[in-house]
Chain A
Amino acid sequence: DQQVKQNSPSLSVQEGRISILNCDYTNSMFDYFLWYKKYPAEGPTFLISISSIKDKNEDGRFTVFLNKSAKHLSLHIVPSQPGDSAVYFCAASADAGGTSYGKLTFGQGTILTVHP
């Protein structure tokens, strides 16, 4: 049972345009969501996160939107740069009394390619 889904395996965008990466979840207990960027043979790099009490969080070129009723989140990258080309993972955690006890549930990832 895949509780976090990234339905687009890949996305191709022109440099300078907006990249929109999507993620859906099924577990209503998830209350904290994160996006990571990953290059092959490296560990994921934390990009941005959002708590379920918010619907938007911005950090520079990265904005994450959360729609709790639709159980959907998205990552917007504006403007996209060739260096953004990587695999992007969304992840979620469920608070169990103040902590998730270290468990993040990941989507399968979306390969983003930004063309110069």
Chain B
Amino acid sequence: KAGVTQTPRYLIKTRGQQVTLSCSPISGHRSVSWYQQTPGQGLQFLFEYFSETQRNKGNFPGRFSGRQFSNSRSEMNVSTLELGDSALYLCASSFPLSDTQYFGPGTRLTVL
């Protein structure tokens, strides 16, 4: 069974731009969570989607948003990029009613 896939793997943007990251969950998984990993803050929860609905959200500004499609694929968007948004963005999926999450390889975003 294929794992969680994320595209693109690497991205370089400049301040003020916006970016969209994509995540395809494991087949049969309907919950998709997003995390940001930085050296200073570690792994921080961004938000979670289930059945195209955002069910949970972490403490991030409104510039961070996401959505989920009917096939459970998910995208996250960051608008008006700041230098501090440089991070590894991780997507994870899980079966309904399971708290075990399986992670993708991540997207490394660099903001210049």
Contacts and interface: CB of A to CB of B under 8 A. Distances in A.
Interface residues of A, number: 26
Contacts of B50: 101-102
A99 B99 contact: yes
Contact of B105 (A36, A43, A95): A43
Interface residues of B, number: 31
B105 A42 contact: yes
Interface of B: 4, 6, 31-33, 35, 42-45, 47-50, 55-56, 58, 88, 90, 92, 94, 97, 99-106, 108
Contacts, number: 73
A43 B103 contact: yes
A106 B100 contact: no
Contact of A46 (B88, B90, B102, B106): B102
